Amino acid sequence: MTEPADPLVVFTPSGKRGRMPAGTPVLEAARRLGVDLDSVCGGRGICSRCQVAPAFGAFAKHGITSAETSLSGWNAVEARYAEKRGLAPGRRLGCQARILGDVVIDVPPESQLHRQVIRKEADARPVEMDPAIRLRLVEVAPPDMRAPTGDLERLTEALRAQWAIEGVTADLPLLAKLQETLRAGDWTVTAAIHQPRDEAPPRLVALWPGLLEGDLCGLAIDLGSTTIAGHLVSLRSGEVLASAGVMNPQIRFGEDLMSRVSYAMMNPGGAAEMTGAVRAALNRLAQEIAASAGVALDRILDLTLVGNPVMHHILLGLDPVELGQAPFALATASARDLPARELGLTALPPGAQAYLLPLIAGHVGADAAAVVLAETPEQSEDLVLIVDVGTNAEILLGNRTRVLACSSPTGPAFEGAQISSGQRAAPGAIEAIRIDPETKEPRFRVIGCDLWSGDPGFAEATAGAGVTGLCGSGIIEAVAEMRLAGLIDAGGLIGSAAQTGTARMIPEGRTHAYLIHDGSASGGPVISVTQADIRAIQLAKAALYAGARLLMDEMAVDKVDRVVLAGAFGAHISPLHALVLGMIPDAPVARVTSAGNAAGTGARIALCSRAARRRIEAEVRRITKVETALEPRFQEHFVAASAIPHATAPFARLRGVAPLPEPAFNSEGGRRRRR
């Protein structure tokens, strides 16, 4: 009789998984699998740093069903801790909860020893200020028994007479404090007026007694499938006062968008669960960013949000299921103005407003619209390809004549997921690597240290965080460098030690892996690139290239003038390595540039400018959408793009600056040839 398999535990957001004997504490399982879970009390339930959030339901992405019975029940230690210090709903202490069955466990940011680096900084480009919310100081006539009228009516009359603002309305929460505020200011008050469009009726959204010192602020939010980034912006100057980011907690429901749609389909109430998770994260982000800038939350009265269609629909509480199947119908594609409270943003004052940029198509969202707003391809004289690299890549191609858009499902490999030594961007992660083409020896740089391995002082500088794994830019550079050094052939096959002339090639069954770093002597990880890692990167980059090539077909061109890599991840990709890998069509290396977090920049522009909102709403209607799922040539382009850099495209511009060796390996380690 076959013995039942040990329970399978999957940790998010790292994606690390493994089978553990029943009864293993979650903290012990995390340590065995190399999961970043903090603890300083030795598992006695005192420090609370090992808090985890188990997720329950059917997880098609991971191939398991996680039930509440998959963990042991609360014990006396957890009960005592919850009574004395409090434990958030849904949280468990990793040192106390024991694994009894297949389970998915999320490690929240505050429980991670090496915190995620959210690489979505603001681009401080100038914006012509025309915010939707403005401050107005008004003097209101006191009440008069001979001319009885309401306080609100006298306030609106003062706004009309002193500022030519007609027809101001106010919601009930503000009315409840109106009389107190007017009297506290001795009938002089500062009013915050919201008017998103010239034709829209103005609304009174906040009121302070007397003259309000300081600025009003707004939040520009880039709601990504992996990370959420926010920028706190002065609505007077447009200055970015603070930026912050958090992991998107929805990642525990699936790393990619279709996994989350699947979760909503397979679990009753699953969509609402994901809505609650992301709204809670936005509230925490608002509180953290306000605290870091020393800004009172009641000064944050406007908000712009961008995200892909699935994130957009889940945030709004709309069912995302239709986005998981053809024809990928959106519930709504239009821009929306609504009170922030309707999005569950209770951390902001009751009068706070939100603006969601329009969506372009079923898989091309408001984040792509924000990239258009930031990069203005419709104003470009030359043909520009803009690639927002992420779990779901969004691609734009255009110039003054025409702008095209599509999306391509690249998956999470570019962010270090599904990679044997992969991890999110955090201190200790390898972010850059170079391989000597003669000796085949690597040197690398990790996040949090400017030195390269081998430099004097590197070991001391990295002693705290250590060398922990490969983040997205690290795995891209590693694969590209292996191609440049002749360690893999054009088909992506890794050579043996005999074929490549280096003992760093480690046999793995019938394939090989390239050893980058062996930290086992000091209890650290062994970091390598395996054949499975190469295949995962090939699949991701082929999907990206194929999407771009489809747009070029539609435009009837064989080359582009320049390429812009957008997104937080795109900002850290080396143009040369992106070309060697074949992620993007061949272009002059000097004309492949980074736009940083262009979606966040576009959100900030929309926050500061009503004219920009009108402009992007009009431009989105003119963009031609190309649906990759319906294009018969996508598969053809995908297969050809699986080679490194490409099976048929010559990549002449690349080869002019970086000649590529041409080994040919086979899985038995037979022959090797060079041209």
Domain residue extents for the chain:
8-111, 114-356, 414-536
What is the residue whose two structure tokens read 């101001």?
168
Lowest mean pLDDT: which of 2-16, 148-162, 195-209, 466-480?
Answer: 2-16
Q: What is the pLDDT of residues 163-174, one digit of tens each?
A: 999 999 999 989
Show the tokens assigned to 47.
């420090």
pTM of the model: 0.81
Q: What is the pLDDT of residues 557-570, one digit of tens each?
A: 999 999 999 876 66
Average pLDDT over residues 83-88: 80
- pLDDT at res. 41: 63
Q: Which residues contact 613 (CB under 8 A, 6 or more apart)?
A: 132, 196, 335, 355, 357, 606
Classify each residue of 475-507 as buried b or exposed e, where b means 16 or more C-beta atoms within 10 Å of its C-beta: bbbbbbbbbbbbbbbbebbbbbeebbbbebbbe
Element (H, E) at 9: strand 8-12
pLDDT of 328 above 90:
no
Q: What is the pLDDT of residues 402-430, one digit of tens each?
A: 999 999 878 777 776 678 888 877 889 99
Show the tokens assigned to 377.
């391809």
Q: What is the pLDDT of residues 614-648, one digit of tens each?
A: 999 999 999 999 988 778 899 999 999 999 999 99
Higher pLDDT, 408 or 442: 442
E strands, 259-402, are 300-307, 336-339, 353-356, 384-388, 393-398
- pLDDT at res. 464: 85
Q: Which of 138, 157, 137 is nearest to 147 (CA)?
A: 157
What is the spatial distance between Cα 39 and Cα 107, in angstroms, rounded to a whole number? 12
pLDDT of 493 above 90:
yes
Average pLDDT over residues 224-248: 89
Q: Assign 467 a pLDDT band (cuts: 50, 70, 90).
A: very high
Average pLDDT over residues 459-463: 92
- pLDDT at res. 119: 47
The share of the chain scoring above pLDDT 90, in percent, equals 66
Average pLDDT over residues 518-535: 91
Lowest mean pLDDT: which of 3-12, 104-113, 331-340?
Answer: 104-113
Cβ atoms of 450 and 462 within 8 Å: the answer is no
Q: Which of 207, 114, 109, 105 is nearest to 156 (CA)?
A: 207
pLDDT of 114 above 60:
no
CB burial of residue 533 (10 Å; 0-12, 13-18, 19+): buried
Cβ atoms of 516 and 433 within 8 Å: the answer is yes
CATH superfamily of 114-356: Domain of unknown function (DUF4445) (3.30.420.480)
- pLDDT at res. 148: 84
- pLDDT at res. 59: 84
Average pLDDT over residues 352-380: 94
* CATH code, 8-111: 3.10.20.30
Lowest mean pLDDT: which of 161-175, 338-352, 661-675?
Answer: 661-675
Mean pLDDT of the chain: 89
E strands, 369-510, are 384-388, 393-398, 403-408, 429-435, 442-446, 469-470, 505-508
